[in-house]
Amino acid sequence: MPSTTTTRGGSAGRTILGVTVHGLGLVFGIFGPGLVYLLSRGEFSKANARNALTWQLFVLVGLAGLLAVFFTTDSDPVGLAAGGLLLALLLVDAVASLWATVKAIGGEAWSYPLVSVLG
């Protein structure tokens, strides 16, 4: 079940990087949130970058596994299922990243579903 980290700073605690890091993750994968996490000093930005980085790592591992199955299987139904799951994972990534951006605009560091926050 998704949870919300209690990082509420209102407009005073929010930063542009803290809000846009989820979109950066959607476009640049682990590199966008990773860079923001390393360079940010504010608690709000770091919390959002950590959540986005953890999610994008989960998506990367899932994509790698599904691509491996898709390209190495000799079974058409298995390949079709892997391809469908691959597309579903990309859709879930987009929806979750957009939802996390909306929550960040509201001042919350939203934890993505299915992943626990590192650190």
pLDDT at 2: 46
Question: pLDDT value at position 82?
Answer: 95
The 10 Å Cβ neighbour count of residue 7 is 21
pLDDT for 3 equals 43
16 confidence band (pLDDT: 50, 70, 90): confident
Nearest of 97, 7, 10 to residue 54 by alpha carbon? 97
Mean pLDDT across the stretch 21-42? 92
Task: Please state the pTM of the whole predicted model.
Answer: 0.82
Q: Is residue 67 pLDDT above 70, yes or no?
A: yes
- The pLDDT value recorded for residue 13 is 60
pLDDT of residue 11: 53
- Tell me the C-alpha to C-alpha distance, in Å, between residue 66 and each of 23, 62, 72, 82: 23, 6, 10, 6
Percent of the chain topping pLDDT 90: 68
What average pLDDT does range 4-18 have in this prediction? 59
When pLDDT is averaged across residues 81-100 and rounded to a whole number, the result is 96
